[in-house]
């Protein structure tokens, strides 16, 4: 292109090409976070194993020796390092994509209205890009800029699909691209796609509202489980230890007498701790899948439940000592 602004245009095209190649080659941010989290988790689990066998003495609770409890602490920290960063990062990305998809039907209707005035699809997209569509606005402006620089509409739509890789966007781009290639009245196709997209979004929102009850039940059941463990550790199990020690020191503990295996109470409490971890991770992921079908949100739920359960079990529930 000739003219005074030709160097600027060349620089713009080169920058656009470089940014696209960079996005396609490297790993995305969420994958890198998952890899780093997995490395940290393995390191923490290794420390926990060394604590369990007494090789090192790194404890989180002052005055506590090596053994199963510090090992479980580092097991929990490893799970948190694996789930929490990736879960929160991916959930933030999915929320951003959800907000982009939320305004997609409005954009499609505006493009359809522009097309009814005789504009081609690229011109209609450029005209519609002047509107405000929330987080979708930046993506639309990128697509409009590509069209203004001579990028084919099919390529611009494909690049938009790569930037927002969701099933809804992929379906919309596929339908619009084929309708444009087939010719005919693209505006009617865009109107039907906009209506279908809005109906899909309303259906997903209704599903989330209906599943919210089950998610609430999962949370309530988990915290009821924690309260039950606390009551047993604070009231029932200490009485069992006291009774067992009394029986052991009495004449009933002789040959053929009565005895209570109170020495197994700490092992029972350790089993409760493991059960809390399993319930927190499993119930949290299940809650996320039920709520919106995403394991990433399930990791966020699991992180919240795991932190709460671990803190209560290690620093609120009283320590049981049979000595």
Task: Compute the mean pLDDT over every residue in the chain, rounded to the nearest whole number.
Answer: 82
- The pLDDT, as a whole number, for residue 239 is 77
Is the separation of the CB atoms in 73 and 314 below 8 Å? yes
| Tens digit of each residue's pLDDT (9 = 90 or more) over 210-255 | 999 999 999 999 999 999 999 988 888 777 767 666 666 665 555 5
Tokens of 146: 């590509």
- The pLDDT, as a whole number, for residue 114 is 86
| Tens digit of each residue's pLDDT (9 = 90 or more) over 114-149 | 888 878 888 888 988 888 888 888 888 999 998 888
Q: How many CB atoms lie within 10 A of CB 236?
A: 11
Is the separation of the CB atoms in 251 and 257 below 8 Å? yes
Q: CA–CA separation, 153 vs 213, rounded Å? A: 44
- Residue 185 DSSP label: -
Where exactly are the structural domains of the chain? 28-102, 104-184, 205-244+261-315
Provide, for the chain, the percentages of residues in helix, strand and coil under a 3-state DSSP scheme, each rounded to the nearest 5: 80, 0, 20
Nearest CA-CA partner of 281 in 297, 302, 309, 312: 302
Instruction: Provide the terminal-to-terminal Cα distance of the chain, rounded to the nearest Å.
Output: 87
């Amino acid at each position: 292109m000739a003219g005074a602004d030709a160097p600027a245009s060349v620089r713009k095209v080169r920058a656009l090409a470089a940014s696209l190649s960079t996005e396609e080659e490297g790993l995305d941010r969420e994958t890198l976070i998952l890899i780093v989290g997995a490395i940290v988790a393995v390191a923490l689990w290794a420390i926990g194993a060394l604590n369990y066998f007494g090789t090192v003495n790194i404890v989180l609770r002052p005055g506590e020796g090596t053994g199963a409890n510090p090992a479980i602490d580092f097991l929990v920290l490893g799970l948190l390092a694996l789930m929490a960063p990736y879960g929160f990062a991916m959930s933030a990305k999915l929320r951003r994509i959800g907000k982009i998809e939320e305004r997609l039907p409005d954009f499609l209707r505006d493009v359809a209205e522009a097309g009814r005035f005789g504009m081609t699809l690229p011109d209609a997209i450029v005209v519609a890009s002047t509107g405000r569509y929330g987080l979708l606005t930046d993506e639309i402006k990128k697509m409009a800029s590509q069209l203004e620089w001579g990028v084919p509409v099919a390529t611009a739509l494909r690049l938009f699909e790569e930037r927002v890789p969701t099933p809804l966007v992929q379906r919309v781009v596929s339908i619009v691209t084929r309708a444009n290639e087939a010719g005919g009245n693209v505006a009617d196709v865009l109107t039907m796609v906009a209506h279908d997209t809005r109906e899909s979004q309303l259906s997903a929102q209704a599903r989330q509202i209906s599943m919210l009850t089950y998610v609430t039940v999962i949370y309530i059941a988990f915290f009821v489980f924690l309260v039950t463990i606390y009551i047993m550790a604070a009231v029932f199990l200490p009485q069992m230890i006291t009774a067992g020690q009394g029986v052991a020191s009495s004449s009933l503990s002789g040959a053929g007498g009565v005895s209570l295996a109170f020495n197994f109470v700490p092992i029972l409490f350790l089993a409760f701790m493991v059960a809390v971890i399993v319930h927190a991770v499993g119930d949290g992921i299940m809650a996320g899948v039920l709520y919106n079908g995403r394991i990433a949100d399930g990791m966020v739920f699991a992180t919240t439940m795991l932190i709460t359960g671990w803190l209560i079990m290690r620093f609120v529930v009283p320590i049981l000592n049979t000595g």
